[in-house]
Amino acid sequence: MKRNARILWITKTASCMALLSVLQATTTSLGNTLVTGSLVNLMLILSVMAGGLSSGLTVAVMSPVLAKFFGIGPLWAIIPLIALGNAVLSLLWHILGNNRRLLRRAAYGLALTTGALAKCAVLYLGIVRLAVPLLRLPAPQAAALSGMFSFPQLFTAVAGGLLAILIMPAIQRALRAGEL
């Protein structure tokens, strides 16, 4: 990676991380994980679509760690599983959302549905079916984690994807014009 490309990558990735941190910190006080989750997924998708795969994966992996430091993340033991779910979403958006053989709307639609379903499946299987039973958590905590990492993940990934589809054209125009 050339020096200017490296500086641009650092700038885009750091900007996405900073915006993600602000969104996590400010929306947590609302007490609505659906809002926070949707905005986090939006940032995951925007970071991969605007900054490339390595930027998107960096933001995807760091997101649950930052959430834990803000006091909004769950147990340290499941953070790698959350990072994996985020990475799967980012990877699928990178592969499918950037598919030049499809019309942009079709590529985004395919990335939206596949990414949301895959992230939800990874989190459900990894956390609800594997981690919760292995961790032998008290019933209320197990129920809370199971509820949080099942169907709501599909909803927040779809909502974040729809927001990204609305915002992405403006961001791509700004990137092409050299404004971002």
DSSP readout, 112-172? Answer: HHHHHHHHHHHHIIIIIIIIHHHHT--HHHHHHHHHHTSHHHHHHHHHHHHHHHHHHHHHH
What's the token pair of residue 75?
Answer: 């147990």
Average pLDDT over residues 44-55: 95
- At 122, the amino acid letter reads V
Mean pLDDT of 140-168: 95
Return the percentage of the chain with pLDDT > 90, whole number. Answer: 71
Q: What is the mean pLDDT of residues 40-58?
A: 96
| Model confidence at 180: pLDDT above 70 | no
**pTM for the complete prediction?**
0.92
